[in-house]
Amino acid sequence: MLKIITMLTMFLFGMVTKGQIAEIRTAAQFSRIEIRNATLFYMESDTTSIRVEAQNEAGCKQLKTQVVDGTLKIGNTKYNPENKVKVYVSAKNISFFKAADNAIIEVSNQLTALNLKVVLQSGASFSGNINAKNKVNIEARKQTTFRAKIQSQTLEGHFKDNAKIILCGRTEKAVIHNADRAWCNARNLVTHSLTVRAEGSSEAWIYSNKYMAIEVIDSAKVIYNGIPQALSLNLDAIALEKKRSETAVSYQY
C-alpha cells in the first residue's frame, strides 16, 4: 500500500523544475478525456487528481480543464509552443481518449478498460500499455503517432494521412485499415485472425501464424512475417517472397 501511495505521490507532484508553476485542480466525474495543445501524463488510479504544470502563471491560467457531459476537456486558450504545459491526471474507468493539435498522451502504468477508443488528429501522439477486456479502437490521421502494447479480444485500427503506428501485444482478432501514406508496424502483434486493407501509398508490416486476409490496392504494400495456416488475398494482389518467412503483398496492375 505504501508503495502505491509513493508512486502516486511521485506521479502527481514529481520534481517541479526551477521557475515552473504547479496547480492542483478539481473536476466532476469523467470517463472520457480530450486534449489539445498540451502534454498529458495519465495514470490509472482509484484516486482522481488533476495537476497542471507550466513555466509561468500565465501558462497555467491559459490551460483550461473542464468536464462537459462526462468528458474532461483540456486545452490552451492561447497556445504558445515555447510555454509547454503538462497535465498530470490520475483516474480510472476511462474509455475514450482524443488528442489534437500536437497534443501528447503518455500512459504511465497499465490502462485497463472494458472497451477503449483512441482518436488522434493533427500531429498528436499516444503511447502506453493497454489491457481491454473486449475491444480497442484506434483512429489516427494527419501525421499522428500511436505506440502501444495491447491486450484485447478485438483490435480495430483506421490509419491515414501519414500516421505512424507501432503495435505489439496479443489479440484474438485484429482489423487494420491503412490508407494514404500511413505506416503501420504490427510485426510484434500476435493475433489469431488478422484482416488488413491497404490503399494509397500506405505500408503495413504484420505477423500472423493462423488466419490472415489481405487486400491491397493502388501502390500500397503489406509485408508479413510467419507462415499463416490460411491466407486470403484480393484478386489483383500478388505475393512475392522477399526472404525466408517474409513476404510482400502488392497490387498487380
Give per-residue pLDDT as tens, 111-131.
Answer: 999 999 999 999 999 999 999
Residue 103 in domain: no
Residue 4 in domain: no
Alpha helix stretches (DSSP H) within the chain: 2-13, 57-62
Domain boundary residue, one of 52, 69, 94 = 94
Cβ-based neighbour number of residue 21 at 10 Å: 16
What is the domain count for the chain?
2
| pLDDT tens per residue, range 153-190 | 999 999 999 999 999 999 999 999 999 999 999 999 99
Compute the distance between CA of residue 221 and CA of residue 181 in angstroms, rounded to an integer. Answer: 11
Examine the domain organization and report whether 160 and 247 are in the same domain.
Answer: yes
What Å distances lie between residue 145 and 81, 113, 142, CA to CA?
A: 19, 21, 9
CB 250 within 8 A of CB 230: no
Compute the distance between CA of residue 144 and CA of residue 160 in angstroms, rounded to an integer. Answer: 9
In the DSSP assignment, the letter for residue 16 is P
Domain that holds residue 118: 109-253
Compute the distance between CA of residue 63 and CA of residue 41 in angstroms, rounded to an integer. Answer: 15
Compute the distance between CA of residue 93 and CA of residue 114 in angstroms, rounded to an integer. Answer: 8
Examine the domain organization and report whether 88 and 135 are in the same domain.
Answer: no
* Spans of the chain, pLDDT less than 70: 1-19, 79-83, 242-245, 253
Return the closest-CA partner of residue 226 out of 238, 242, 210: 210
Examine the domain organization and report whether 77 and 163 are in the same domain.
Answer: no
Examine the domain organization and report whether 85 and 118 are in the same domain.
Answer: no
User: How many residues are recorded in the chain?
Assistant: 253
pLDDT at 10: 54
Examine the domain organization and report whether 127 and 25 are in the same domain.
Answer: no
pLDDT at 8: 53
CB 61 within 8 A of CB 108: no
pLDDT at 65: 96
Q: Where do we find the cell 500511413?
A: 182
CB 87 within 8 A of CB 39: yes
Domain boundary residue, one of 94, 122, 148 = 94
Residue 161 in domain: yes
Residue 122 in domain: yes
Strand partners, 21: 54
Examine the domain organization and report whether 82 and 124 are in the same domain.
Answer: no
**Rounded to an integer, what is the distance from CA 36 to the centroid of its chain?**
15
